[in-house]
Amino acid sequence: MKNLNKLILACMLSLFGLADLQSQDWADLNRFKEENTKLPSVQENENRILFMGNSITIGWLNLRPEFFANKPYVNRGISGQTTPQMLVRFRQDVIDLHPKVVILLAGTNDIAGNTGPSTLKMIMDNIKGMSEIAQANGIKVILSSTLPAYDYPWKPGLEPSGKIIELNKMIKEYAELKDHIYLDYFSAMVDERNGLPKKYAEDEVHPTIEGYKVMEPLVEAAIKEALN
């Protein structure tokens, strides 16, 4: 009986230790730590472009690697992340990599409540914080609209579409106020439900290859504008 109690206690301590370890890296700072170290220094005439975001950003690299190939594009998307998590890792995953331009795509996971309840003001404050840090370091800022979403498959029933529309208005207004570039994916992809059609996202949120093909010329036009 004593041995059984010791075993149960050891298992509990192990689980608590793992939970504590995970909580210490809430922003997933270790995700790109090694890749950042191995990334070559920026060359004199290199226009490094940094893609910062969530699963939509990293999914782009996974589904369309040819879009990123042989270009000075660095992808630092982490699945499921919210704007406060991105803000925490912004210096190490963006500023310290010395891009000319950062493309920020964020907000939908905040609306889904992935790291707790968030108001639109809270989301915007984090987006503003990242934009201000980038601007202070001489980095051009492209603020992407949040993509349409009629529903979240992992949290059905939240009806996010109205909040996304309102958040995009706030992002656009802030971009215009601060002379950042507003990248409007929303208008090019939205359907009559204010969601994404099946051809662009089979699960209502994450773009298909066809969805990313819509996004690519839009982001390239925004990059060209930022560099000019």
Q: What is the pLDDT of residue 11?
A: 44
28 within domain boundaries: no
14 within domain boundaries: no
96 within domain boundaries: yes
Q: Calculate mean pLDDT across residues 93-119.
A: 98
Residue 181 belongs to what domain range?
47-227
CA distance 109 to 116: 10
Instruction: Tell me which amino acid residue 145 is.
Output: S
Q: Is the dihedral of CA 185, 66, 74, 149 positive or negative?
A: positive
Burial 201-210 (b: 16+ CB within 10 A, else e): beebbbbbee
CA distance 118 to 83: 10
Tell me how many degrees the CA angle 109-111-59 measures, rounded to the nearest 5: 25
5 within domain boundaries: no
Where residue 83 sits, what CATH number does that domain have? 3.40.50.1110
For residue 6, pLDDT over 50 is answered with no
Tally of domains within the chain: 1
Q: Assign 24 a pLDDT band (cuts: 50, 70, 90).
A: confident
Q: Are the beta carbons of 72 and 48 closer than 8 angstroms?
A: yes
For residue 96, what is the DSSP state? G
Give the pTM. Answer: 0.88
Lowest mean pLDDT among 2-6, 61-65, 134-138, 139-143: 2-6
Tell me how many degrees the CA angle 52-157-211 measures, rounded to the nearest 5: 40
Tokens standing for residue 228:
């000019």
203 within domain boundaries: yes
24 within domain boundaries: no
27 within domain boundaries: no
Q: Calculate mean pLDDT across residues 19-26.
A: 64
18 within domain boundaries: no
